[in-house]
Structure 1
Amino acid sequence: MWVNAKFLRVITNNFAAAAVMGLCIVTAPTKGIANQIGYQLNEVETAHVSRIKSYLNRISTMQARFIQTNPDGKTWEGTLSIKRPGNFRFEYDPPVPHTLISNGTWFIHVDRELKESNFLPLGRTPARFLLAKQVRFDEEVKLIGFLHKAGLIHLKIVNTEFPDLGYVTLTFNERPLALLQWRMHNALNQDTLITLQNARIGLRLNPELFKFVEPQQEDQDQD
């Protein structure tokens, strides 16, 4: 099944997901984002951003537990697996029936409860930035905010091709440098937060994690 309203709600709040990249449909533009031309970094900030890009580009694989805080305050937990370029899997713990998969081309939402799957081109999601072969800020992904405070670095980014979908704020620990969380701000002025825990980098991941299997097929295999 191709993208429907329910899937748009999940994607908008998840990164989405964030994750990532939620449960709200994008119905109105995010004020001001479309008109922002990018944040002008000073020399110190440029050094921080260069260090972050190098760090992200060194990540070939990552696996972590995550906590997702939704706009209504409810939290979901699960396991995130990333294999760059192009692949990730958000596996939510029961009773949440959702799995989010990227296979390099499609962002796929699997609803195990309804036995439905929905597809959106990966390039239309904020996830494309972190899953790209080379992480960079260019004409498609612009840095529109920078904050360095209390040992944390926050980068606010927007997909200039689809600015009305909202923006993502990535938060890094400064030393040692590590991605801690990201916050997806959608067009209805609502935030979804993904916080990583026990992240491991450079481990070998099973390629089957990133393969899409129809929910009905999974059920049949278990019978």
Structure 2
Amino acid sequence: MFSIKKLTAPVAFILSFFLAMTSLQAQESQTREALQGLSPDEVAVVRKVENYLNSLRTVSSRFIQVSDGGGPAEGQFYLQRPGKFRFDYDDPVPITLVTTRFSLLYFDRELREATYIPLSSTPLWFLIREKVELYDGISITSAVETKGSIVLTLKIDDDDLGSQMTLIFANNPLSLVKWSVVDEQGITTQVSLIDPVYDNPIAPEHFSTKDLNLPRPGRNRVDD
């Protein structure tokens, strides 16, 4: 197998430099494509949001969720970057959503049924990546900044269903306060954070599934 280590030092250095530059150029091309159509001011807003999200470590908050044609739902939300978030809905909505190592667990606490969903198919997947890159798999359609808020609208590139997501941030200081998702049927779901706390430590048990008494592998229900 070809190995840079087998080359002489000058040749290895030149080849390594070339590979690094090729990767950087590909990344820059990807960035330009994702931000295509945005004004310089909008690009600056996207960069501002990207820097904020990469600096964000944790969020804990009550939330209210409202969907078209449905009643409101409330609960507790936890997020820890990278890789973790959890929604515990209050009764009468007996649902818990929590990330596992490779997927999102959708657990019905009343029926004791567990369903695993690929993380990449969930609206918040890009927020919990090791590095948030708003050009990687995402197309920004608008970025608007006012004195009090920033509104970022985006689409997931691999989403063939045409879903759209809007992130809303308070400004000065910048902080995530709300998001909405429009699905393929045109139904809008909005989630608002109530009295959020940012960058405080979150106890590990909030991201554990031990409290759910999950079904054993191969079973959908705990009492099967």
Indicate the TM-score class for this superposition, using the shorter chain for normalisation. 0.7 to 0.9
- Report which structure shows greater RCO (CA 8 Å, sep ≥6): 1
- 106, 112, 115: which one aligns with 1:115: 112
Number of the residue aligned with 2:156: 159
Find 2:195's aligned residue among 190, 198, 202: 198
One of 90, 103, 106 as aligned partner of 2:103: 106
Gaps of 5+ in 1: 1-35, 219-223
Q: Does 1:133 align with 2:133?
A: no
**Cα distance between partner residues in 1 of 2:135 and 2:111:** 39
Q: Which of 82, 98, 107 is 2:79 aligned to?
A: 82
Q: Quote how far apart the aligned CAs of 1:157 are.
A: 1.3
Q: State which drifts further: 207-216 or 130-139.
A: 207-216
Say if 2:91 is the partner of 1:94: yes
Bigger shift: residues 139-148 or 193-202: 139-148
Measured in 2, the distance between the counterparts of 1:83 and 1:104 equals 13
| 1:179 counterpart (176, 179, 204) | 176
| Structure 1 segment 38-53 matched on structure 2, within 5 A | 39-53=36-50
Q: CA deviation at 1:151?
A: 2.6
Instruction: Give the drift of 1:52.
Output: 1.1
CA–CA distance in structure 2, aligned partners of residues 206 and 214 of structure 1: 14
Contact 2:38 2:141 in 1 (8 A): no
Are the counterparts in 2 of residues 111 and 215 from structure 1 also a CA contact under 8 Å?
no
User: Partners in 2 of 1:183 and 1:217 — Cα distance?
Assistant: 30
Name the residue aligned to 1:15.
none
Evaluate the alpha carbon distance shift between residue 50 and residue 72 of structure 1 in structure 2; reply closer, same or farther with a 3 A threshold.
same
CA distance in 2, matches of 1:101, 1:132: 15
| DSSP-derived class of the 1:54 partner | helix
Query: What is aligned with 1:54?
Result: 51
CA deviation vs aligned residue, 1:191-216 (integer Å, no higher than 9, x gap): 00000111111111121221224845
Higher deviation after alignment, 84-93 or 137-146: 137-146
Using structure 2 for the length normalisation, give the TM-score: 0.75
Is 1:212–2:209 an aligned residue pair? yes
Partner of residue 21, structure 1: none
Q: Are the aligned partners of 1:86 and 1:133 in contact in 2 as well (CA < 8 Å)?
A: yes
The Cα shift of 1:108 comes to 0.8
1:159-201, Cα deviation, whole Å (9 max, x unpaired): 1112415011001122221111000000001100000111111
How far apart in 2 are the matches of 1:82 and 1:104?
Answer: 14
- Percent of residue pairs identical: 30
RMSD over aligned Cα, in angstroms? 2.1
Structure 1 residues 102-111 or 81-90, which shifts more? 102-111
Provide Cα deviations, 1:2-25, integer angstroms capped at 9, x if missing partner.
xxxxxxxxxxxxxxxxxxxxxxxx
TM norm structure 1 = 0.75
Aligned length: 183
Give the greater-gyration-radius structure (CA). Answer: 2
Provide closer, same or farther for how the CA distance between residues 67 and 41 of structure 1 changes in structure 2, counting only shifts above 3 A.
same
AA of the residue aligned to 1:114? L
